[in-house]
Amino acid sequence: MAKNYQRRKQIVVNKKYQNRIIFAISWPPALCLVLTAVALGVFCWKLSIEAYEADADLPSLVPVFLTTVGFLVLASVFQFFNALKFSHRVAGPVVNIARILKAIRGGDLSARVHLRRGDLVMDIADEVNGFLDWLEDHPPTGSEQDNASDEESGSEAELTASDQTQD
């Protein structure tokens, strides 16, 4: 049986919003990784100078340095993609909810928010949908639905009044 995943077609759904999220999530660890790389570089440089002055050979220093730098680069890439994934889990539902609210503002009270499993604002979507259910049951005064029901009741009142005058 094939699984039915609701996937968005694109990773970046709201560039401005996602950039803010990625930056907020990424800059502290990225700064720590950069500072670690600089400290490691300084340490290895001083160690190589000391080894040269002592006429010692440190053949494993370069592989240790390169392995550590490689780890720092991979950790940075991993951290960036996790931030992108997180921003997608937040920005995607926000875009979806905004689209539904525009449809409602356009008069479509039957529109509902449908999110993917695992999206991070599921409770907001549930509240919006609950509000929309309530709004369908209790239309605001002066709305198109309210006016349509007033016209129906007005027609019934006219029929009742005309029936009474005929008696």
The pTM for the full model equals 0.61
Residue 1 lies in a domain: no
* Per-residue pLDDT at 1: 44
The percent of residues above 70 in pLDDT, for the chain, comes to 79
Instruction: Kindly state the tokens that stand for 66.
Output: 């390169």
Q: What is the pLDDT of residues 7-32, one digit of tens each?
A: 667 777 778 888 888 888 888 998 99
**Structural domain boundaries, residue 49:** 15-166
Residue 156 lies in a domain: yes
Residue 105 lies in a domain: yes
Residue 8 lies in a domain: no
How far apart CA 156 and CA 141 sit, in angstroms, is 20
Residue 4 lies in a domain: no
Instruction: Kindly state the tokens that stand for 104.
Output: 């409602």
Q: What is the pLDDT of residues 34-66, one digit of tens each?
A: 899 899 989 999 999 998 899 888 888 889 889
**Cα–Cα separations (whole angstroms), residue 156 to 14, 151, 152, 163, 165:** 51, 9, 6, 11, 14
Domain count, the chain: 1
Identify the residue whose tokens are 């990625």.
22
Check pLDDT > 80 for residue 157: no
Residue 5 lies in a domain: no
